[in-house]
Every structure is written in structure tokens, then in C-alpha cells.
Amino acid sequence: MQLEQAPSSSALAMGIGLLPDARQAPSPHCDDRPDGVAADLLVIHNISLPPGEFGGPWIEQLFLNRLDPEAHPYFATIAGLRVSAHLLIRRDGERIQFVDLCRRAWHAGPSCFDGRSACNDFSIGIELEGADSIPFTDAQYHALATVSQQIMQRFPAITAQRITGHSDIAPGRKTDPGPAFDWDRYRALMQGKG
């Protein structure tokens, strides 16, 4: 298998990995992809902080390494995590980009897809503000379809068959995006049928 060439440092400098409709909030929780490796997988997640609650600055603060462990009892258990995603889509459809798409975000943890481990090396991670059993919003589905199409245009190795959930690359360890995520609706929107 031949690997797609990773973007050069000049490509990074030109911002091809920055999405135009996303607010930029650069996370320190990222690094360079391995030499010669470009993204060829899109991973869908969900997150809510505190669990099951929406709104507030907590997700952004976690990804920016600014989460106050005393702001909520749950935060003391996660305050030391060094995690991020490339993009967060809030309940109202707002997009916040934490990591340039050409760089490696720390979103997948121990993972495997199609026989390849360490999915962070070759994937782009999108977090939806949500929970496994709570339906996602119309605004989120539309924003997710739009950004997925933008990503696929910039990274042609990411095809519809190479979009998956966190639960699929880390089975038994992760459950997101969960049973409330409507894969059929998302795919229909991606095809312009929604």
C-alpha cells in the first residue's frame, strides 16, 4: 500500500488545514503526523462536559488545557487529560477548530482501523457536543455534513467508506458517537438528500 504524501511545511503555512467557517482555538494537544503520512480516515465522536450537560466553556477549556478541576466534581477526574480533536460542532452548529487538519490531534487513543493501529496518525477527529443516547440537532447534522465534504475535498483519500465512529476503532473502550447518532441521516445529507 502506498501512502499519500503528507502536506509539506509550506502547505501547513498556507493554511490548507484550516476550515474557513470554523472559529480557530489552537490546542497545545497535538503534534506532527509521522513523516509521509496524511489523513485518510474521518472519526466521529461525541463529548459533553459535565457528562450529559451542554453549553458552557468546558469542552473548549479541556482541549485548550485550561479546565479548572474545581469547577465541577467530574472535572477533577479528567483535568490532567491531554486530549483534543480537530473540530468541535456545538449543539447550535457552531464549529470550533482546535487542530490544523494536517497535524495530528490526540482524539482516538488506542485504536485500530482496517488493520492499522494508532489511528491518530492518519485520521481527522470531529467531536459533536452530545451524548450517546441524546439525539443530535439538525444544526449539528448539517454542519457535520458540510465540514465532512470540505475535509474530503482537501483529503481525497477520505471516502465515504473511510468515515467511522470512535466506537468502531476502539470497540469495548469507547461507545461514541452512540446509538442516538443517525448514520443514515448523515450519509443522506452528505449526498445532498436532506
Q: Which residues are known to be catalytic?
A: 127
Is the pLDDT reported for residue 10 higher than 70? no
Is the pLDDT reported for residue 13 higher than 80? no
Q: Residue 183 phi/psi, 5° resolution?
A: -60, -40
Strand partners, 113: 116
pTM for this one? 0.92
Distance CA 149, CA 21 (A): 13
Is the pLDDT reported for residue 8 higher than 80? no
Q: Taking the CA atoms of 152, 140, 67 and 74 in sequence, report the sign of the dihedral they define.
A: negative
Cis peptide before 177 (omega within 30 of 0): yes
Please give the class, per CATH, of domain 9-16+25-190.
alpha beta
Confidence of residue 128 (pLDDT cuts 50, 70, 90): very high
Is the pLDDT reported for residue 86 higher than 90? yes
| Average pLDDT score over residue span 19-38 | 96
Question: For 38-79, how does the pLDDT look when each residue is reduced to its tens digit (9 = 90+)?
Answer: 999 999 999 999 999 999 999 999 999 999 999 999 999 998
Is the pLDDT reported for residue 113 higher than 90? yes
What is the predicted pLDDT for the residue at 193?
80
Confidence of residue 15 (pLDDT cuts 50, 70, 90): low
What is the predicted pLDDT for the residue at 192?
85
| Average pLDDT score over residue span 147-162 | 96
